[in-house]
Structure 1
């Protein structure tokens, strides 16, 4: 009897110890994942801070540093080329990358024939840079569709890397989105976010797709917990989803956050301020606040025709007259 009791106690103690060890392992994995995500967010937020404060050379240098440390950072690829473009160095940078790629291939073929080229970190970096450069040329070149197809072909080669990178799927999702291949774009975005749930470029394109399809709640559900990422173009998409969903206070808060992240109106900070003014004017009937936010645009962009037109519209706006027009229109439609 006593032996049976002792056996049960030992068995229970071992079970408790085993469960505690499992919990410790799970906690360690969770802590490691959280630390990794925190480090990634710090990197991308620093990229955004440099770029949107017009420190383009610093941003370009930092992106290059990040890319060489971490192959899998789509924001670093995007803003490396964005910074080069702002500095009027885009073609110079692309020519330099082409030379590095040719040099690498020649060196590899002469010294490392028996190794797998896709496993080489330098090859992975140069291939991804090549793919993203073609996508960037799509937006800036008159021969855009050619470069978009080239970008897709290059990034598809990256699928044969021995490690799956979210930046590969993010790049492909951008290209498929621009080609209006929505199903392929959604598939690539989901794969990117499965690898890196806080990839800001993938989150932006996820929201663009869902918003285009009218799935505003999908955008809100996915992005609402990532407002600590200081990427104005992503935040704008979330604000737009809130607005279209009738959640105007949340939309205002998110649009203003996008503007705060883009004080020089290089990205979607501009349209975010326009939307803030429009909500105050047409939804909240507050002309003074609407004009105030339109005027913030003119402080940065004094020649903005959009802002000047919006201010005139706001000055002449009469909510009662607008309501009467809408009511008359509704009556005529019913006849």
Structure 2
């Protein structure tokens, strides 16, 4: 199915409907579920509880209508206004993650949380953007700051006031430093995007992408190794704590460590090489609650970059809606026959 998007070069163009690019990304229902399970994770030391993950999956099943040619929202009229806020939040975050992966080749998005968060250092208290990531395949690497916005209200266009507020949060950042290479990226090198998703009057979901221009004062330091471990922590926890013995499956010459998660009625997998790189760090953090992560980011990125073409091929040739593989090496599917590719 297709998720359409419109790209605007700046806030003025968005306000005056001057579209720089129309397009779409191809996604499956399980792409949406996979994104829901990984986006915005914060560092819970024991992984997100199964009850919460089950609830997130049920949100998708209750409110997303996956058609052959489009993605539609459903059952919103049965919700109270405060309940709609929750759905809007997850629409914004989930589809921002998918757009980031499919359009900008970002393998990992980290949810910025400046309060007592070991993943980040931020030089002052202020509102920061939602998500941060980096495209490591680009020449010299490209850092991205993303403000994710969502709405469950059917409308012709995302509200200008909310997009304007989002651009101000993006504009608050002056520079970013990633600890895996100690490079400092200043505002001219940082890609800043508002990714706003909402249903049209037809209930079909559409995404608007706005590239704001501005300057800020926040300096952000991203601990690459800690951020990466926390990104995968819930997936690792599900595989490690599965009641069934994990299995190894090969898809397009990539080995995956796979477990059936009965409570979710899903198979969840992770590239075996990534699983092996993270395993010791995960065990130490999970059981002993301290960090031992040096070097895991670069090791993982080197593996994932080598897998890019293979994963792209699997995504392009997938013919079932009950299957998803991400550029982060995470696999999600409903039936073992779906992985015989």
User: What TM-score comes out, normalization by structure 2 length?
Assistant: 0.24
Which of the pair has the greater relative contact order for Cα pairs under 8 Å at 6+ separation? 2
TM-score (norm 1): 0.24
Structure with greater helix percent:
1
